[in-house]
Amino acid sequence: MPPKPYRGRSRVIVLAAVALLTGARTYAQLPGEPIVFGDGRVTLGGDVSATYGCAHGQGIAGCGEDVGFFNYTSYDDSLIRNFRIDLSASVKAGEHISFLTEIRTDNLDTPQPYALYARIRPWRDRRFDIQIGRIPPSFGAFSRRPYPSDNMLIGYPLAYQYLTSLRSDALPANSDELLRMRGRGWLSSFSVGDPTPRAGLPLVNALSWDTGVQVHAATDLVDVAASVTTGTLTKPLVRDNNGGKQVSGRVAVQPVQGLILGTSLARGPFAARDVAVTAGLSTDDRSITQTAWGADIEYSRGHYLVRAETVLSAWRVPLVRTPVIDLPLRAVATSIEGRYRVVPGLYGAMRWDHLGFSEIQGSTVRREWEAPVTRIEAGIGYSLMHNLLLKVAYQHNDRDGGRVPTLGITAAQLVYWF
């Protein structure tokens, strides 16, 4: 099943980029900072990004599409050909309560609430708050900065975007079924649950926030966040679909100026209730789980910024038929990225990424349950205005499996924010 045509979306992206550049020429008409009114009680902000990329590889003529689905976030949407609008609002309802929301649309599709929560601060002079609703993530470092204006490159780290073959609404009955889907996360199908082919899940979904309660506290040395949510890292939810809850948390310390060390943990059931029933489990069974651990480091000094992050995820699935799946199914993602500011307004950046998987035994072969992926991305960023950024990057993807094992992509992105 090939990717859906991009013709209509390509026009939208090109027109959006032209509109942003035209707006830059009449800069006084564009807001340069968040809009504040109502005696400081209401703050509006947002960002707009237009991204267009061309794939290069064997059998691709001219400016091709990402036929390897390396940058897809679903079967329909790719990060390298995307027009995104984010609008956020913060309303202070009193000294101790604020309401925050963010509405997002990709390629002018129906706007969706990315964030919608209440923030309660019991003490005015302490950095402590409780957040209720569709809340910011408590796991990982990159999940806190997925916005185009915060991302030094155009692509996302593999842990937060790349689609594995695992799904929450369908699971493999044995190891042979799982091995047949290696490198097919863009459209996988299994016999336990919904048999309709659909896109798989990333280790951590950076494009959707979960729903629940979060407690956050910070000092100059330590920053701590813990939450209980309806979904999991791999499958955030608004409405519960299995009766279970995920518990997650992150601790970050800043021992010296410019150095941040963080670690994260998360655990919860990720599969829908119908899948458990199809697998012969009870409706209240919570054994189909995702457990994840993360570690991250950031160091900045002068013109340099260096970041590294590792995410280890382990999934447990039902053992339905032989050959049984070796559990847990593990995946380890590691990314290292750096940025150097050459002159004011111009920087160069690079990211190295690898995503590896544990082995399972099939009927005839023993190999990784998913195809390992390595990605290298390098690019530059140039500030046309203080809040208008142009990025150009080249990305090389290499995968040990799938229909398209190797693909190069050149992309440009224009980002405006206020």
The CATH number linked to 368 is 2.40.160.10
Count of domains forming the chain? 1
User: Where does the pLDDT of residue 1 fall: very low under 50, low under 70, confident under 90, or very high at 90 and above?
Assistant: very low
Which stretches of 219-328 are assigned E, i.e. beta strand? 222-229, 246-253, 259-269, 289-301, 304-315
State yes or no: pLDDT of 126 exceeds 70: yes
- 2-11, 43-52, 325-334, 390-399: the lowest-pLDDT one: 2-11
- Kindly report the average pLDDT of the chain as a whole number: 92
Supply the pTM of this predicted model: 0.91
Mean pLDDT (whole number) for 354-377: 98
Residue 152 and residue 329 in contact, taking contact as beta carbons nearer than 8 Å: no
User: Where does the pLDDT of residue 285 fall: very low under 50, low under 70, confident under 90, or very high at 90 and above?
Assistant: confident
User: Where does the pLDDT of residue 248 fall: very low under 50, low under 70, confident under 90, or very high at 90 and above?
Assistant: very high
- Nearest CA to 234 out of 117, 325, 155, 317 is that of 317
Mean pLDDT (whole number) for 382-397: 96
Neighbours of 154 (CB within 10 A): 29
Residue 24 domain-assigned (yes or no): yes
Q: How far is CA 41 from the centre of its chain?
A: 31
Residue 88 carries which side chain, given as an amino acid letter? S
Ranges of H-type helices in 135-190:
175-180
Mean pLDDT (whole number) for 101-107: 95
Q: Which CA distances in Å does 8 have to 108, 229, 306? A: 11, 37, 38
pLDDT score at 10: 64
State yes or no: pLDDT of 2 exceeds 50: no
Residue 365 carries which side chain, given as an amino acid letter? V
pLDDT score at 30: 74
Q: What gap in Å lies between CA 205 and CA 36, rounded to an integer?
A: 31
Residue 407 and residue 11 in contact, taking contact as beta carbons nearer than 8 Å: no
pLDDT score at 9: 63
Residue 11 domain-assigned (yes or no): yes
Q: What gap in Å lies between CA 371 and CA 351, rounded to an integer?
A: 20
Each residue's pLDDT tens digit, 17-28: 666 566 555 555
Task: Kindly state the tokens that stand for 262.
Answer: 């963080």
Mean pLDDT (whole number) for 381-392: 96
State yes or no: pLDDT of 104 exceeds 70: yes
Q: Which CA distances in Å does 162 have to 89, 108, 332? A: 30, 23, 12
Backbone phi, then psi, for 142, in 5-degree steps?
Answer: -65, -30
pLDDT score at 17: 62
Q: What gap in Å lies between CA 122 and CA 82, rounded to an integer?
A: 40
State yes or no: pLDDT of 399 exceeds 50: yes
Mean pLDDT (whole number) for 94-117: 94
CA triplet 53, 80, 194: central angle to 5 degrees?
A: 135
pLDDT score at 362: 97
Residue 258 and residue 153 in contact, taking contact as beta carbons nearer than 8 Å: no
Sign for the CA dihedral angle at 369, 370, 376, 382 comes to negative
pLDDT score at 70: 97
SS3 28: helix
34-46 per-residue burial string, b: 16 or more CB within 10 A, e: under 16: eeeeeeeeebebb
SS3 9: helix
pLDDT score at 280: 86
**R_g over Cα of the chain:** 22
Residue 1 domain-assigned (yes or no): no
Containing H/E element for 274?
helix 273-278
Q: Which domain holds residue 37?
A: 7-417
Sign for the CA dihedral angle at 22, 26, 27, 29 comes to negative
Residue 2 domain-assigned (yes or no): no
In sequence order, the 6+-apart residues with CB closer than 8 A to the CB of 273 are 241, 242, 243, 283
Q: Which CA distances in Å does 385 have to 20, 31, 341? A: 11, 12, 16
- Nearest CA to 339 out of 150, 204, 160, 162 is that of 150
SS3 277: helix
Mean pLDDT (whole number) for 189-207: 95
Mean pLDDT (whole number) for 288-302: 97
pLDDT score at 188: 96
pLDDT score at 8: 54
Each residue's pLDDT tens digit, 35-75: 999 999 999 999 999 999 999 887 788 899 999 999 999 98
Each residue's pLDDT tens digit, 137-173: 999 999 988 889 999 999 999 999 999 999 999 999 9
